[in-house]
Structure 1
Amino acid sequence: MTDSTQPRTSTQRWSPALVVQLREATQPREAAELLAAADVPVFPCVALEKRPLTTHGFRDASLDPDQVADWWRRWPDANVAMPTGMASGIDVVDVDVHACGNGYDAILSARTSGLLGDPAWMVKTPSSGLHLCFLHADDASQPSWQVPRKHVDFRGDGGYVVLPPSHVTQDDNTIGQYEVIDIATHQPDSVDAGALRRFLDPPRPTRSPADLPVVGTRPDRLAAWVASLSEGERNHGLFWASCRMAEAGERFDVAADVLGGAARQAGLSDRESLTTIQSAYRIATRLGADSTRSGCPRPMQAVEGVRL
């Protein structure tokens, strides 16, 4: 960033009132000036595009009102964007819409499973996707990632998003706008990006673990084996054992109890263990099929179905 001032915490910078002002901004320049004044760094992007206009992209984002004013004097039609993660105090779960599918089924499944709480606000993107905007946990660094086959991206440290009221030209040459469509009226949740990624893209061993149990799928033997696993083997081993229990017809709550306790002995956290067991059961019981399998919901229907 181009400023040396220490940014305030997420809760100090962001408030429902600030997001309301962002929603009411009519020009990208107006939004840029508003956010910079609130200690949120911004930078310009090419008009009707997502490409940064500055030399170093989001790393040039600034809080300096003179710099912001100079950028928009130079490029009056520029879109406005901000870096995500610690820099701005906002983590974004990006639900994409592509010709081959969209990420709504995956996100709704994550919410139903308790792995994705309520964001502080939501932005409808020009493609009818969603930006779920979460307040960044100030003591945690969460790098950006993508899960292309589920059409979901995470924009945290090392990423950026284009902001309302910017406009972008779509593949069909139509022009769409970024719009704030929902603002939380209650205390929003943060997002555990690592857990969400493991849920969307669970570990899939390319081969069975080398030290397999030799007694089939008895829960007590599987649990004893999981408890003996060392670091580097634990997640894959727990995933494999969970799949075996699911395939044997064991109930999920039984697997969570038996294997969860064993994974705790091996050194995994309860949350990490539960996420891995859930992922295994979803795959083994074919509940985690891609959204393209049975046809994707129309994007606008899906947008309307996700509410705070």
Structure 2
Amino acid sequence: MSTPADLTSSRLSPLRRAAAAPSLPAAAASLARAGVPVFPCAPTGKQPLTQRGFLDATTDVDQVAAWWRRRPDANIGVPTGERSGFDVVDVDLHPGSSGFPAFERARRGGLVAGWSVVVRTPSGGIHAYFPHSAGVEQRSWQSPRTHIDFRGDGGYVVAPPSWCLTPVGPRRYELVAVSGRDPHPVDAGALRAFLDPPRPTPSPSGAGVLPGVGASPDRLAAWVASRPEGGRNAGLFWASCRMVEGGFDLPSTVGALAEAAQHAGLPRREVEATIRSAFRRTAALPAPGGLRPAPTPEVST
């Protein structure tokens, strides 16, 4: 029976050799000979060049040689999960968004400590490779809010020494770290629950009921999360106005309603713009006795 260390030796170590190969055809052949299935992707891109994409990945060295004879500049795609023997945590980095803060939180929580190798992607993000547990299915998933994706069964990654064009020029997928410790599989389910904790689902009987005057932030958030497409923005604006009237400041309102609105399907920028609009158009109601809470200056979030 294979252990995580055995899997790393037989599957992940070839990535180190492929990363040092003199050309893309040589790297693809090296991986195939080592038992890692590969398939060609668009030069400087990630799109598969075969009809069935990662389903066509193979270790047949003759087929691999034929593919790269036709397209010697093709990038190298590798299926993740059971087929290759490794899973990948993909940490994105783009202008205005970064998955590194969430990855660091997960690292401190002990959820991503078992990586074997780390590859820096052309955008500046990383692919952290973990040994896959034989016989344990872990499907691929995405966490747009935290900018982290998991590539397991049903997914694939582009492997070194592939490269892509970026706004600052061509950049390769580069192997930048090798663990000195025994690697172990990542628990994809636990990682996803950590990154995107499940929110309480509003009961069907109360999901469509408009919260009453003075409703708590939790009640408002549950109602916002239940808004259907076409009513999400208006629902968020209404709930934000109720919080403004209740004397809540901008950071508190964002903290209470933003995740609920994103759960309903609104993008983060639209969420924040809608909440700010409520603060521009609504004022806190007078407190009992004719007193009004002191105005709170709008701050960046």
TM-score normalised to structure 2 length = 0.64
Tell me how far apart the structure 1 counterparts of residues 168 and 40 of structure 2 sit (CA, whole Å).
22
Gaps of 5+ in 1: 1-8, 211-282, 285-291, 294-308
Task: After superposition, give the CA deviation of every residue in 1:178-199 in whole Å (9 maximum; x if it has no partner).
Answer: 0000111221121000000000
Corresponding position of 2:61? 65
**1:27 and 2:20 equivalent?**
no
Gaps (5+ residues) in structure 2? 1-5, 206-254, 257-267, 270-301
Q: Corresponding residue for 1:176? A: 171
1:87 corresponds to? 83
Listed as ranges, the matches of 1:204-243 within 5 Å are 204-207=199-202
Residue 109, structure 1, aligned to residue 105, structure 2: yes
Q: Which runs of 4+ in 1 moved over 3 A?
A: none
For structure 1, which segment, 180-189 or 156-165, has the greater mean C-alpha deviation from structure 2 after superposition?
A: 180-189
Q: 1:93–1:153: 8 Å Cα contact kept in structure 2?
A: yes
Q: Using the TM superposition, name which of 48-57 and 19-28 deviates more.
A: 19-28
Which of 1 and 2 has higher RCO (CA within 8 Å, sep 6+)?
1
Deviation at 1:12, TM superposition (A): 5.7
Give per-residue Cα distances to partners, 1:129-188, cap 9 Å, x unaligned.
000000101121100000001000000011000011111122x26221100001112211
- Provide the rounded CA distance (Å) in 2 between the counterparts of 1:125 and 1:61: 21
Per the alignment, do residues 99 and 11 of structure 1 end up closer, same or farther by CA in structure 2, a change over 3 Å counting? closer
Contact 1:97 1:129 in 2 (8 A): yes
Instruction: Work out the percentage of aligned pairs sharing the same amino acid.
Output: 50
1:100 Cα deviation (Å)? 2.7
Larger radius of gyration: 2
TM-score, L = length of structure 1: 0.63
Aligned to 1:4: none
Deviations 1:203-255 (A, max 9, x none): 11143799xxxxxxxxxxxxxxxxxxxxxxxxxxxxxxxxxxxxxxxxxxxxx
Whether contact under 8 Å (1:19, 1:183) holds in the other structure is: no
Give 1:245's aligned residue: none
Corresponding residue number in structure 2 for 1:148: 144
Residue 191 (structure 2) aligns with: 196
Report the AA paired with residue 34 of structure 1. Answer: S
Task: Call closer, same or farther: CA 1:15–1:206 in 2, change over 3 Å.
Answer: closer
**Cα distance in structure 2, aligned partners of 1:11 and 1:178:** 20
| Paired residue total | 207
